[in-house]
Amino acid sequence: MAYIQINGGVNRFDLEIEFLPDSDELMGRPPLGMKPTTVRLSTDTIRRIEALVGNRRLALFIREAVENELQRRENPEASTGLGNL
């Protein structure tokens, strides 16, 4: 409920605020399925990565490195190349 003064008289009126979602599911870019995460790296490490891949490809390099390391640790026998010898 809100009150407003008009020409010396006080009028009462009800406010209805309709909450709309921030975005329409049918519009815009689809979700990327990624969560932003902060990773702290030394400036030397960042410089080394950027020297290899360029400064605009840093995030892609880190994502690929993490994915490769996860695969290596989840499947240790596959990474050695020895299998079941």
- Phi and psi dihedrals of 32, rounded to 5? -85, -10
Do 60 and 53 contact (CB within 8 A), yes or no?
A: yes
Helix and strand counts by DSSP (H, E) for the chain:
3, 2
pLDDT for the residue numbered 29: 77
pLDDT for the residue numbered 35: 87
pLDDT for the residue numbered 20: 61
Q: Which of 70, 49, 67 is nearest to 58 (CA)?
A: 49
Each residue of 19-64: pLDDT tens digit?
666 655 666 777 788 888 899 999 999 999 999 999 899 999 999 9
Angle value at C-alpha 55, between 49 and 60, nearest 5 degrees: 70
pLDDT band at 65 (very low <50, low <70, confident <90, very high): very high
Cα(25)–Cα(62) distance, integer angstroms? 30
pLDDT for the residue numbered 49: 95
The domain ranges of the chain are 36-85
